[in-house]
């Protein structure tokens, strides 16, 4: 029986653990160690004692999230019952004409990418320019996305490929940057073009789906139960602080246990208490899958000069991470209903918002809330703003949107701002030039495989689907590479 420890229980770690057990067919013993008391990592959420759902940040599931859908299905979670579709609709506030514009994606494959042509925020000439630019772009990305595109920012590449300059200045365009947390900074063209490629290849449905409830409850805990039903163990509240190794092979995981009794309701925020004397070194394993975020990995490597400078891991310290924010506003006033509930192009730093009232069964029939708005963004440039100041700004931004005029400060019943500042919650940025710093799944240390949305993969852009695919890939590597020779071959070194 091979013993595998998976560190991290976000989408990547859960996918890796489930796959190891499912495909290992009784021959793999899996233990998951994870820092937080809940499953789902950056995509986790919890329900407050009075029934309100708080997420780290609103999550959407795009049509091409094939592997996440399959994982949920294996865990007995019906996608149709736990998510609600936007039926291809979203709305964008454009600063240049101070109006809200509808964007409706059609129902078919590549054609959906041309639906921008129907976007009323573009002039006639811009639409023609946009159409021919998209045709050229799709033809290019379908042939593969060159890694050299990581060295240029999205705007520069688009202009080079004939995109009208005025389009680059629209909020419609800005959304692609903000969806990856790259505001106010630039974004890697490679990363965005990968998303476009996925859309063009597998746009089986043009809708995006929103979770109908607390994601940890409806998705990640059922996956955790499946892992346990397959014989795996999930140990929560263990923080990996250090890796033990002899320079060649991973030999131990040094972990501290979080004092769960010290935790208030909500997400795990430092400072949290460590159980005195709880430090434990796990050595009883054949392989480890590290599925922790970039911020946590930077912390683990920081005090280990050998690992820190090792080829393949040396770039990790150079990745930029930011603190995402999720602002939840429970409001008295109802807003425009139906699928047109996703709004983008709002005032930074929280420029994307969604009304959860029609999606979440806990809110849908609850007359106490007219709308339940959830804004997403990241805090660069706004670090010193108080929660209240950020609330005021978000309200000011959204009340300009057609149908949201009644959203004012007076109608706010309650609000909660989640700032993901802790190292384990910070998010890596896909800025130009970052690709070369990302680690490969096969690391220089024998016995250590990496997974996560920030680890190199075939789908090099940040989202839950990438994380799940990366976890599945890590499981593949572990199942196929038990020996030193295989490891070296995979790592591209002479055995």
Ligand X SMILES: Cc1cc2nc3c(=O)[nH]c(=O)nc-3n(C[C@H](O)[C@H](O)[C@H](O)COP(=O)(O)OP(=O)(O)OC[C@H]3O[C@@H](n4cnc5c(N)ncnc54)[C@H](O)[C@@H]3O)c2cc1C
Binding site for ligand X (CB under 6 A): 7-13, 33-36, 41-43, 56-57, 59-60, 239-240, 291-293, 296, 324, 326, 376, 420, 424, 427, 452-453, 462-464, 467
Task: Indicate the residue among 296 and 430 with the shorter CB distance to ligand X.
Answer: 296
Q: Three-class SS string for the chain?
A: CEEEEEECCCHHHHHHHHHHHHHHCCCEEEEEEECCCCCCHHHCEEECCCCCEEECCCCCEECCCHHHHHHHHHCCCCHHHHEEECCCEEEEEECCCCEEEEEECCCCCHHHHHHHHHCCCCCHHHHHHHHHHHHHHHHHHHCCCCHHHHHCEHHHHHHHCCCCHHHHCCHHHHHHHHCCCCCCCCCEHHHHHHHHHHHHHCCCCCCEEEECCCHHHHHHHHHHHHHHHCCCEEEECEEEEEEEECCCEEEEEEEEEECHHHCCCCCCCCCCCECCCCCEEECCCCEEEECCCHHHHHHHHHCCHHHHCCCCCCCHHHCCEECEEEEEEEECCCCCCCCCCEEECCCCCCCEEEECCCCCHHHHCCCCCCEEEEEEEECCCCCCCCHHHHHHHHHHHHCCCCCCCCCCCCCEEEEEEEECCCCCCCEECCCCCCHHHCCCCECCCECEEECCCCCCCCCCCCCHHHHHHHHHHHHHHHHHCCCHHHHHHHCCCCC
Instruction: Give the CB-nearest residue to ligand X.
Output: 57
Report in angstroms how near the CB of residue 22 gets to ligand X at its nearest. Answer: 18
Q: Which is nearer to ligand X, 57 or 345 (CB)?
A: 57
Instruction: Identify which of residues 57 and 439 has a Cβ nearer to ligand X in the complex.
Output: 57
Whole-number minimum distance, CB 326 to ligand X, in Å?
5
Task: Please state the closest distance from residue 411 (CB atom) to ligand X, in A.
Answer: 25
Least distance (Å) from ligand X to the CB of residue 26? 25
67-70 long-range contacts (CB < 8 A, ≥24 apart) are 67/15, 67/465, 67/468, 67/469, 67/472, 68/11, 68/464, 68/465, 68/468
Task: Tell me how far, at minimum, the Cβ of 484 lies from ligand X, in Å.
Answer: 26
Residue 357 CB, nearest approach to ligand X (Å) = 18
Q: Output 122 or 193, the one with its CB closest to ligand X.
A: 193
Nearer to ligand X, 291 or 478 (CB): 291
Closest CB to ligand X among 13 and 397?
13
Q: How far is the CB of 295 from ligand X (least distance, A)?
A: 8
Query: Considering the complex, what minimum distance in angstroms separates the CB of residue 421 from ligand X?
Result: 11
70-98 core/surface letters (b: 16 or more CB in 10 A; e: else) = ebbeebebeeeebbbbbebbbbbbbeeee
Residue (239 or 393) nearer to ligand X, CB: 239
Question: Closer to ligand X at the Cβ: 157 or 193?
Answer: 193
Please say whether the beta carbons of 64 and 465 come within 8 A: yes
CB of 38 to ligand X, least distance (A): 8
Q: Could you tell me the smallest distance in angstroms from the CB atom of residue 423 to ligand X?
A: 7
Q: Give the chain's end-to-end CA distance (angstroms, integer).
A: 25
C-beta of 52 vs 419, nearer to ligand X: 419
Beta carbons within 10 angstroms of residue 42's beta carbon:
22
Would you say 134 and 113 are in contact if contact means Cβ atoms under 8 Å apart? Answer: yes
- C-beta closer to ligand X: residue 270 or 277: 270
Q: How far is the CB of 117 from ligand X (least distance, A)?
A: 25
103 dihedral zone (left: phi>0; alpha: psi -120 to 50; beta): beta
Tell me whether residue 38 or residue 363 sits nearer to ligand X (CB atom).
38
Q: How far is the CB of 29 from ligand X (least distance, A)?
A: 19
Our CB check for ligand X shows the closer of 154 and 208 to be: 208
């Amino acid at each position: 029986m091979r013993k595998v420890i998976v560190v991290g229980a976000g989408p990547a770690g859960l996918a890796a653990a489930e796959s190891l057990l499912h495909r290992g067919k009784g021959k793999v013993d899996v233990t998951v160690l994870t820092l937080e008391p809940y499953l789902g990592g950056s995509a986790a959420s919890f329900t407050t004692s009075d029934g309100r759902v708080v997420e780290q940040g609103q999550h959407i599931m795009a049509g091409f999230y094939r592997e996440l859908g399959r994982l949920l299905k294996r865990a007995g979670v019906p996608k149709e019952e736990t998510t609600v579709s936007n039926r291809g609709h979203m709305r964008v506030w454009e600063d240049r004409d101070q109006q809200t514009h509808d964007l409706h994606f059609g129902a078919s494959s590549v054609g959906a990418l041309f639906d921008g042509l129907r976007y009323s925020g573009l002039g006639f000439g811009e639409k023609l320019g946009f159409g021919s630019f998209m045709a050229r772009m799709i033809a290019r990305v379908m042939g593969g996305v060159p890694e050299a595109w990581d060295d240029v920012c999205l705007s520069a590449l688009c202009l080079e490929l004939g995109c009208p300059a005025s389009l680059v200045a629209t909020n419609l365009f800005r959304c692609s940057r903000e969806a990856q947390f790259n505001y106010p900074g630039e974004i890697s063209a490679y990363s965005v073009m990968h998303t476009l490629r996925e859309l063009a290849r597998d746009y089986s449905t043009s809708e995006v789906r929103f979770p109908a409830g607390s994601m940890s409850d409806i998705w990640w805990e059922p996956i955790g139960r499946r892992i346990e039903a397959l014989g795996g163990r999930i140990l929560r509240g263990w923080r990996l602080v250090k890796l033990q190794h002899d320079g060649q092979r991973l030999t131990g995981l040094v972990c501290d246990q979080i004092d769960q009794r010290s935790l208030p309701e909500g997400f795990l925020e430092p400072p949290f208490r460590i159980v005195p004397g709880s430090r434990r070194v796990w050595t009883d394993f054949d392989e480890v899958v590290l599925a922790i975020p970039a911020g946590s990995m930077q912390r683990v490597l920081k005090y280990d000069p050998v690992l820190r400078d090792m080829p393949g891991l040396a770039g990790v310290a150079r990745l930029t991470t930011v603190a995402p924010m999720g602002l939840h506003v429970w409001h008295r006033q109802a807003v425009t209903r139906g699928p047109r509930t996703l709004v983008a192009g709002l005032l930074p730093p929280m420029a994307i918002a969604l009304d959860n009232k029609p999606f979440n069964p806990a809110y849908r029939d609850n007359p106490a809330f007219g709308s339940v708005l959830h804004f997403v963004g990241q805090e660069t440039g706004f670090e010193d703003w108080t929660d209240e100041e950020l609330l005021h700004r978000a309200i000011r931004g959204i009340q300009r949107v057609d149908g949201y005029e009644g959203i004012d400060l007076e109608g706010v019943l309650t609000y909660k701002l989640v700032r993901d500042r802790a190292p384990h919650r910070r998010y890596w940025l896909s800025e130009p030039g970052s690709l070369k710093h990302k680690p490969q799944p096969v690391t220089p240390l024998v016995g250590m495989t990496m997974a996560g949305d920030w680890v190199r993969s075939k789908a090099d852009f940040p989202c839950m689907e990438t994380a799940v695919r990366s976890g599945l890939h890590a499981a593949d590597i572990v199942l196929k590479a038990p020996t030193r020779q295989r490891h070296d071959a995979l790592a591209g070194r002479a055995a």
